[in-house]
């Protein structure tokens, strides 16, 4: 799929999402962005898209709710005329020991990390069909893509991201006849979370075969590749500097 003159919806407009939006806009895409609480960051990303000469649309949405996902997609199409590409980035990453987990924690984390991707895809697919095809890019995690947990305290997160991989595969099969290609990206050490110490950053570098953090642009490159391909579907691509092989 050519990116020029396509419309992309990204659920998340800061940090990595902001770079993805900028790179797609630079290649001629119009960009819609949803946000939960980070309105300022989403608006800044939209300004970057407009500075590249492309249209941008920003909307607050709780992507764990079907009605919000339907409205987000409908308003994106109303504002930008179509929808070709969905990038499901909404995610929550928090550590909580197993003995402290509640059913409410479980439901809340899986709703953001897994259910939201299904709901947004469900809302987007009819519009992609009208356009003759589309691309859906989900976000998993390098640990889940490696097939085994490595860190304690992330039970709902790991289960959800493993579910994203399964969702990606089954949607790729379900939607293949519609020429809607569905793939996932499993990031590794891309950008350090806020509060990461110098010692922690060095430890990650030492555990990564390429010896460094990847940076947001590497994820944007992967998204672009999965949008432009016409024959890759149902795959989860690790972007982790070889972290999974060490």
Residue numbers annotated as active site:
157
Nearest residue to 151 (alpha-carbon basis) of 103, 209, 93: 93
Instruction: Please state whether 4 falls in left (phi above 0), alpha (psi between -120 and 50) or beta.
Output: beta
Return d(Cα 158, Cα 145) in angstroms, integer. 10
* 71-97 residues labelled b (16+ CB within 10 A) or e (exposed): ebbeebbeebeebbbbbbbbbeeeeee
As to burial, measured by CB atoms within 10 angstroms (0-12 exposed, 13-18 middle, 19+ buried), residue 34 is buried
Q: ∠ at Cα 156 (149, 139), nearest 5°?
A: 75
Q: 95 vs 49, 50, 98, 100, 137, CA distance in Å?
A: 34, 37, 9, 10, 25
* CA torsion through residues 80, 88, 15, 73, sign: positive
Helices 155-175 and 103-110, interaxial angle, to 10°?
A: 40
Please tell me the number of Cα atoms within 13 Å of 10 on its side-chain side: 31
């Amino acid at each position: 799929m050519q990116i020029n003159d396509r419309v992309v919806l990204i659920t998340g407009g800061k940090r990595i999402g902001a770079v993805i939006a900028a790179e797609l806009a630079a290649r001629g895409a119009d960009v819609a962005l949803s946000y939960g609480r980070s309105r300022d960051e989403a608006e800044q990303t939209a300004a970057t898209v407009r500075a590249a000469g492309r249209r941008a649309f920003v909307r607050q949405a709780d992507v764990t709710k079907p009605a919000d996902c339907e409205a987000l997609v409908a308003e994106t199409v109303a504002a930008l005329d179509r929808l070709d590409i969905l990038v499901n980035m909404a995610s929550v990453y928090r550590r909580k020991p197993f003995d402290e987990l509640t059913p409410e924690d479980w439901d809340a984390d899986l709703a953001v990390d897994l259910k939201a991707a299904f709901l947004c895809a469900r809302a987007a697919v009819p519009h992609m069909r009208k356009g003759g095809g589309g691309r859906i890019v989900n976000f998993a995690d390098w640990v889940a893509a490696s097939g085994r947990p490595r860190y304690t305290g992330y039970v709902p997160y790991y289960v959800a991201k493993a579910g994203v991989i399964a969702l990606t595969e089954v949607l790729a099969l379900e939607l293949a006849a519609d020429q809607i290609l569905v793939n996932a990206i499993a990031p590794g050490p891309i950008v350090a979370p806020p509060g990461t110490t110098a010692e922690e950053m060095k430890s990650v570098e030492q555990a990564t075969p390429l010896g460094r953090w990847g940076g947001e642009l590497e994820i944007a490159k992967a998204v672009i590749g999965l949008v432009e391909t016409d024959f890759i579907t149902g795959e989860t691509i690790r972007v982790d500097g070889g972290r999974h092989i060490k």
